[in-house]
């Protein structure tokens, strides 16, 4: 997907980009390639692939229409190189974005990136999701929490739902539809005070690739003992 195709495809789903925003995506790609030579951020660096599989893919979260608004507070857990939060922030400048990642090198990259792109209201924290979720300053404070990660949904639910305010949402970005994973996560979702709402099936333009947004709403407060100590959700997932 070339930059001009990226712009045209986003217009089809109601996301209009200015010249300045297009320049921000171009600089993002440039810095991603440059930093990727020093630290491992992504296996995808070729321009057309980055625009499709990182930038467009991230902005697809905005298609969760009942969930995503332009001026909400969003927390991205384990953002890595900034996906999905930074492409969304460029497209929707009024978003307030908080990123938590366990690797300080990635936070350093994101700090330099946010400065270069002149993005305001981007807050970066070097922390484990488990300890961040127990921090009273952040717990149950976000309208939307998201993760574009490889962890299974039951693990992500324990890491993300404690950060969601009541009636807010947790949306997991998944590469493939997985009824089995949703079924497996039902106990964890309920224990964290969440309720499964829907799975939105989307297509990456010009490919056979599917993307799925798993939408979970926070209905009750999360019990204080969650998330458990760092490493425990992975080692002893709730099933």
| Residue 83 among known ligand-binding residues | yes
| Residue 128 among known ligand-binding residues | no
Structure tokens at 98: 């908080």
In DSSP notation, 148-201 reads --SS-HHHHHHHHGGGEEEEEEEEEEESS--HHHHHHHHHHHHHTTEEEEEEEE
| Residue 78 among known ligand-binding residues | yes
SS3 212: strand
How far is it, in rounded angstroms, from Cα 188 to Cα 101?
22
47 φ, ψ (degrees, to nearest 5)? -50, -55
| Residue 138 among known ligand-binding residues | no
How far is it, in rounded angstroms, from Cα 189 to Cα 166?
14
What's CA 209's distance to the chain center, in Å? 19
How far is it, in rounded angstroms, from Cα 107 to Cα 145?
18
What is the maximal distance between C-alpha atoms in the chain? 48
| Residue 114 among known ligand-binding residues | no
What's CA 80's distance to the chain center, in Å? 10
Residues tagged in the binding site annotation for S-adenosyl-L-methionine: 78, 83, 129-130, 148
Residues tagged in the binding site annotation: 78, 83, 129-130, 148
């Amino acid at each position: 997907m070339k930059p001009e195709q990226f712009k045209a495809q986003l217009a089809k789903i109601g996301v209009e980009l200015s010249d300045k925003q297009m320049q921000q995506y171009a600089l993002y790609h440039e810095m991603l390639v440059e930093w990727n030579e020093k630290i491992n951020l992504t296996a995808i660096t070729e321009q057309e692939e980055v625009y499709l599989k990182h930038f467009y893919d991230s902005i697809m979260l905005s298609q969760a229409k009942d969930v995503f608004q332009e001026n909400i507070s969003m927390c991205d857990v384990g953002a890595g190189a900034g996906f999905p939060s930074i492409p969304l922030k460029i497209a929707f400048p009024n978003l307030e974005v908080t990123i938590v990642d366990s690797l300080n090198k990635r936070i350093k990259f994101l700090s330099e990136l946010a400065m270069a792109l002149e993005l305001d209201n981007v807050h970066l924290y070097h922390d484990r999701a488990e300890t961040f979720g127990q921090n009273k300053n952040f717990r149950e404070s976000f309208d939307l929490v998201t993760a574009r990660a490889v962890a299974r949904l039951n693990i992500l639910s324990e890491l993300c739902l404690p950060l969601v305010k009541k009636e807010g949402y947790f949306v997991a970005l998944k590469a493939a539809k997985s009824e089995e994973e949703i079924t497996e996560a039902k106990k964890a979702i309920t224990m964290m005070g969440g309720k499964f709402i829907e799975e939105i099936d989307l297509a990456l333009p010009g490919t056979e690739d599917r993307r799925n947004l798993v939408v979970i709403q926070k209905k009750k407060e999360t019990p204080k003992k969650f998330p458990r100590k760092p490493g425990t959700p992975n080692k002893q997932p709730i099933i």
